[in-house]
Amino acid sequence: MASRLQSHQLPSGLYVSGKLEQPKETRPPTMAARAMPYTGGDIKKSGELGRMFDISFADPTSFHGGGAARPPPTRVHSSSASSSNPNNGHGRSGSQSGPVRKSSGPLSQLQPTGLITSGPLNSSGQIGSGSRRSGPLDHHQTSNLRPSTKPKYGSAVTVLNSDPVRVGLKVPKALVWAVVVVAVTALLIGTFLAVAVKKPLIIVAIAAAIVPAAVVFVWNCVWRRRGLLGFIKNYPNAVLRGAIDGQFIKVTGVVTCGSTPLESSYQKIPRCVYVSTELYEYKGCSWGSRHAERYVSDFYISDFQSGLRALVKAGYGSKVSPFVVPETVANVTVQTKDLSPSFLQWLADRSLSNDSRAMRLKEGYIKEGSTVSVMGMVRRHDNVLMIIPPAESVATGCKWWRCLFPAYVEGLIITCDENQNADVIPV
């Protein structure tokens, strides 16, 4: 016998199968929405806001000056607040259950304006995990934050030696050694004969033969640089339009910077193709070099005769012999007590002491628009006219009327006869 099916009637009058479900009891939400009261800057009226950030508060009358001593401020901890609050994280049900996120650390005391800040401007305390300091910096911090005056260039700039121009004598070493041996032998023999024969005229005759040779040698050591400059000045200028590949030429014209312009380290002269800064120190009876910086990069030169422009390959480690006369930009004597800040900064960037010594700073440069002369080898590549360092050294030849032996110099020769203070041609 089949069991009787249960059914019930809906409010609309329709009969359906199944048991009548009991209506579920609706419960009000656990957390009631309350409007946030206006605090007006008073921490006591902020409710859970002050307790959530763990802010210590005092009597609001303590913000005004004068009056009797106030009681010490009390601190309300977030743990006690959470236990006394019925709507805290532990009392929530469902998806809202869980512990309340704690603050990362105590903030400073509430300001009289009611704004929550990280501390006064002159505060140096820690905020969270790091420290921050506002306001003016002290002298040591400002000195450390000054930009360095020491130039930093890449591989496109050639760093020259302390003495890049090395002028040598084109004399065979065998001849030099032969002359030295003959002179020493003649001097020994003459001394022996003068003592044995007792005739000092022999010593006089030998000295008359040796002294002129020594004078000529010293003369060449002193005047070889000036003789080379005379050779460069008198060398004829070539025309770039008719120069062939591999020809050694001299070109005179106006220079323009390449892809890497330079700047002098002390006077901050911009857009230069060559810069040099030398610091000399007085040692005893003469001036000696203490520090030197010389840089040169690729640049362009426009020929005066043809108007063509050629790329001078002076960068990327090329051999260059610049003949540029520097000028004195700073002169420090022993009596000088107050040094200029720029000179002190220049010394500090290079770890040089500024003790009581006589120093002299010289700086030379070739800036854009100057007229220079370049001696090198012509190279044509993909319709680009270049002047590169010659493979062999440049010899001046023997000048007998000046008693000068052949001198030689290596690399590109760059000369600039203009005064550095003179106006240059705008480019």
Q: Residues with Cβ < 8 Å from 345, sequence gap 6 or more?
A: 146, 149
Give dist(CA 373, CA 353) in Å, integer.
38
Q: Residues with Cβ < 8 Å from 323, sequence gap 6 or more?
A: 165, 229, 232, 413, 414, 415, 416
Residue 125 is predicted with a pLDDT of 39
**Residue pair 314/275 in contact by the 8 Å Cβ criterion:** no
Residue 405 is predicted with a pLDDT of 79
Q: How many Å is the Cα radius of gyration of the chain? A: 45
Residue 147 is predicted with a pLDDT of 57
Q: Please, what is the Cα angle at 151 between 425 and 331, to 5 degrees?
A: 75
Residue 111 is predicted with a pLDDT of 52
> Could you read off the pLDDT tens digit of each residue along the chain, which spans 427 residues?
445 567 777 777 777 777 777 666 666 656 555 556 666 666 666 666 666 666 555 544 444 444 444 444 444 444 443 444 444 444 344 444 444 444 444 444 555 555 454 444 443 434 333 444 434 434 344 344 455 557 778 889 999 986 666 666 666 677 778 878 887 887 788 777 777 777 777 778 777 878 887 888 888 888 888 888 888 999 999 999 889 999 999 999 999 999 999 999 999 999 999 999 999 998 878 898 999 999 999 999 999 988 899 999 999 999 999 999 999 999 988 887 678 899 999 999 999 988 778 899 999 999 999 999 999 999 998 889 999 999 988 888 777 777 887 888 889 999 997 655 555 555 5
Nearest to 110 by CA among 187, 40, 200, 15: 40
Residue 132 is predicted with a pLDDT of 40
Give dist(CA 54, CA 185) in Å, integer.
101
Give dist(CA 51, CA 44) in Å, integer.
10
**Residue pair 263/269 in contact by the 8 Å Cβ criterion:** yes
Q: Taking the domains of the chain in order of start, what are their residue ranges?
A: 169-220, 237-344+351-414
**Residue pair 156/260 in contact by the 8 Å Cβ criterion:** yes
- Answering whether pTM is above 0.85, one says no
Residue 418 is predicted with a pLDDT of 66
Residue 275 is predicted with a pLDDT of 96
